[in-house]
Structures are given as structure tokens and as C-alpha cells.
Amino acid sequence: MLSTAQIVALIIFILMFVAIVMDKIERQWVTLGCGAATLLIVFGLIMKSPATILESLNVASIFHRDFWITSEAESASIGVNWSTIIFIAGMMIMVEGMAEAGFFRWLCMRIAKLVNYKPTPLLVSFMVMSFCLAMFIDSITVILFLAAVTVELAKMLKFDPVPMILSEIFCANLGGSATMCGDPPNIIIGTALHLSFFDFVSHTGLIAFVCMFLVIGYFYMVYRKELATEEVTAEDIAALPDPKSAIKNPKEFTYACVIFGCAVAMLVTHAQTGLTVAFIGTFVSALTMILFHKDLVKIIKKVDYKTLLFFVGLFIVVSGLEATGVLEILAGFIGKVSGGNLKVMIAIIIWLSAIASAIVDNIPFSATMVPVIRALAATQGVDINTLAWALAIGTDVGGSATPIGASANVVGTSVAAKNGYVISWGTYLRTALPATIIVITVSMLIIFARYC
């Protein structure tokens, strides 16, 4: 029997999910409103626990040394995950600086030129580029630039950009699953369970890498007829802009490359240096703000503060479920259904995450599931990391299945539509849904083979 606090926390959580899906109110106001309700009603009125309110807000954690220089202990199990928020904010600032310098457009145009703008190599190279960039940069930015350049090339070379955009979206989501910083669910999972960049690369990264080859083959097979009909003439190529034209200011472009290089180096070595993702995010954003001080106001204005507020509210709502023990009940249920069998637990987590992420936002889902797998590992005596890999792959890749499953999908279809290229639900599902099912199935089998 659920207690009053548990029932109210659950109602608030369900209301938040429904409101996010309905998309009538901006999602940051939804989570902040529900977060405020959790603090006031669940923790304040029902539990009468000011200590839980403070614990949920978790502001004190920022002032601990462990927040900036890592320790072996896991981060706070309850409350706002400020590491995730600070890291994402820092990366947003860095990415805006890079975009301002013309880095992404230059990279896309340069690679297109390298493959002589031929349709099949263009498809494959853009898929690989999407995968690789999404390992370090948020998939929204990756797709924003890739899709824009794809449309530009499509207009000049007279080909249909939709197959390429769909392939790029899928690879961006897949690439995001390969690293700790690739996709917000991974940052949430990584910071909460104290996993390193290399933990992700050597586990989810390996799975994503194998699946990337599968996906390239799959999309090539699906679109080979469209690609075969597209011919590029010398006149078409001559009309295209030089990649160098994307670089507005060579000095700023060099800065962007250096900052990006620093971010990658710091992320790759953070297990050795002990620097946390919060530190890395703060460092690269500070570096960007110093080196791009001329465009500082412009860069700051472009930071997506709405997403950051969304995270704050979300973590508070999830802490309501965690503090009242609702998530332990869910973990107990999964444990009971699986009968303590690790393979069944993995299958439940990966498919549940994939299906849920295809329909609703994968960020609230992963934030909710982290305490669940923690409780599941504690009660069933299974390796928490194995469950974490299943959760990461499920949430990251599951979002690829539908046009609303992940942010990259929304941005990619939007860029196409704004330019008069239709990606309907039917068009999207026809290729992305089978690809998602293939990747999730293969990932599950790899996890079974490697960890069970």
C-alpha cells in the first residue's frame, strides 16, 4: 500500500510526463512547476521535512571539493544533479563559440569536398561525422549544422536530402550513446554512478561502434536506389561554396579548434586527472568566454537556459519519487518479474527504456531510472554497471525510433520541413523504427554475451 507522500509524488510525476508529452506549456515551466509542487506538498506539507527539501535542492554539493575534483564515492543519490547541469551549460557555451567561428559548417563542407560530393560516399561520410561529433557535442548542434549543409548541398546538387538527414539523425543518437558526454542520459547516469569517460567508451562505445557499421549498411541498403539515381556534374560542384568561406575569422576558428581539442582531451583523461565533468564544463566555457569576449553577449544569449531550467525541475520531481521510496517499489517489481535473472533484467531495462524513450523525453526517463537500477543492483546483487549500459543504450538509441523520440530528430525534421522537404511520421518510421529495433536487439545480445 502506497503512503500519501508516495501517491502525491507519483501524481506530480505523472502530471509532469503528461504535460511534457502534450507540449502545450514549455517544458521548463512544467518541470519547475512540478518541482515546486514536490518541494512544497510532498517534502513540506506531507513529510514536514525541511532537510529533504535542502537535500533535494542539493546546492551544498557544489561547494564540496568532490564536485570539482573527483572522489571514488558516487555523487549524491538524491536531488538536483548540478554536475550534469553545469557540464551541459559549459558545453553549450563552447559549442556556440565554435558555431560562431564557422567550425561546423567548415567541417561539413570540407568533408563533402573530400568525397567529391558523390552521393554514396557523402551519405557514409556524413553518417560517420554525425556519429563522431555526437560523441562529444550535443546531438542538436550536430544535426542543426549537418542537416543545414545537407539541404544546401541537396539544393545545389539536386538530390533528395531526406535519406541523408534521416541517416544523420540516427547516427547522431547512436554516437551520443558511445560516450559519457554524448547524450544527456549518459551524463546523468555517469555522474550519478561515478562512471568515467573511458567506462562508457569501452562499454557502450564498443556497442555503438559495432552498431554504426550495421546502421551504415542498413541505410545504404534502404536508400541505394535513391543514391544511384543522383548524378553530380562538374558544373554543380563548381557552383558550390569553398569550405574556407565558412570561416569568418581565422583567429577565432583556431581558438574554436583549440577549445574543442582541450574539451576532448580533458574528457578522455578525466579518470586520470580526477577532474569532474562539472570542472571540465566550467573550464571550457570560461576559455570560450575569454577567447570569444567580443561575441560574449551573443554567445551567452544563445545558451539554451530553458533546457537547464528543465533539468533543475526534473531532478527535483525525480527526487520526490526517490525520497518517498516509489522508485524502490518499481525496482522491487522489476526484480520480482525477472526472478533475479540478470538477462531478464537487462532485457526489461533496455526495451523498457527504448520504448519509453521513443514516446517520451529520454532525459526524465533516464533520471528516473538511475535510482531504480541502483536499488535493483543493491537488492538483487547484480553489477550496477551492466544495468547502466543497458539503460544508456536503451534511452539513447530508443529515442531514434520516432520523430519525437529525441531532440536531434525534431531538429532534423524541422530543418528539412523549413526548406520544403517533407519528413512525415510515415517516412520517418519506415526506416528509423526497423533500424532502432535492429540496434537495440544487437546491443542486448552484446550485453548478454559480454556481461552475463
Per rule CB under 8 A, is residue 436 in the interface with another protein? no
In the complex with another protein, the residue whose CB is nearer, 187 or 326, is 187
Near another protein in 140-169, by CB under 8 A = 140, 155, 158, 160, 162
The least distance separating another protein from the CB of residue 275, rounded to whole angstroms, comes to 28
Choose which of 4, 14, 23, 452 interacts with another protein (CB under 8 A).
23
- For 204, which DSSP code? I
Of 368-407, binders to another protein (CB under 8 A) are 403-404, 407
Alpha helices in 158-205 (DSSP H): 162-176, 184-193, 197-200
CB 160 → another protein: shortest distance, Å? 7
Paired residues of 297 in beta bridges: none
Grid cell, residue 306, equals 530553458
| Cβ closest to another protein, residue 25 vs residue 59 | 25
Nearer to another protein, 155 or 244 (CB): 155
Least distance CB 153 / another protein (angstroms): 13
- 174 contacts 428 by C-beta, under 8 angstroms: no
Question: In this chain, which of 14, 26, 40, 245 binds another protein, going by CB under 8 A?
Answer: 26
Return the residue of 231, 424, 430, 434 that touches another protein, per CB under 8 A.
Answer: 424
Cβ-defined contacts of 125-128 (< 8 Å, 24+): 126/150, 126/164, 126/167, 126/168, 127/167, 127/168, 127/170, 127/171, 127/212, 127/215, 127/216, 127/219, 128/171, 128/212, 128/216
The minimum distance between CB 438 and another protein, in angstroms, equals 23
Decide whether 115 or 410 has the Cβ nearer to another protein.
410
**What grid cell was written down for 45?**
506539507
Q: How many CB atoms lie within 10 A of CB 245?
A: 12
- Is 111 or 157 the residue whose CB approaches another protein more closely? 157
Report how many residues bind another protein under the rule CB under 8 A. Answer: 31
411 lines the binding site for another protein (CB under 8 A) = yes
Minimum CB distance to another protein, residue 149 (Å): 16
CA 277 – CA 328 distance, rounded (Å): 28
Q: What span, in angstroms and rounded, lies between the C-alpha atoms of 303 and 90?
A: 9
Given 14, 422, 445, 452, the residue binding another protein (CB under 8 A):
422
Q: Is the dihedral of CA 434, 436, 439, 445 positive or negative?
A: negative
Of the candidate residues 237, 414, 433, 437, the single one contacting another protein (CB under 8 A): 414
Shortest distance, CB of residue 416 to another protein, whole angstroms? Answer: 8
The partner residues of 69 in beta bridges, in order of sequence, read: 275
Residue 244: CB minimum distance to another protein, A: 26
Among 304, 332, 344, 451, which residue sits at the site for another protein (rule: CB under 8 A)? 304
Among 66, 128, 419, 438, which residue interacts with another protein (rule: CB under 8 A)? 419
Residue choice 56, 177, 307, 443 for contact with another protein (CB under 8 A)? 307
Q: Which of 220, 118, 105 is nearest to 152 (CA)?
A: 105
**Distance in angstroms (rounded) separating the CA atoms of residues 407 and 141:** 10
Q: Are 171 and 131 in contact (CB under 8 A)?
A: yes
CA distance 319 to 38: 9
Q: Which positions touch another protein (CB under 8 A)? A: 21-23, 26-27, 140, 155, 158, 160, 162, 304, 306-307, 403-404, 407, 409-411, 413-415, 417-425
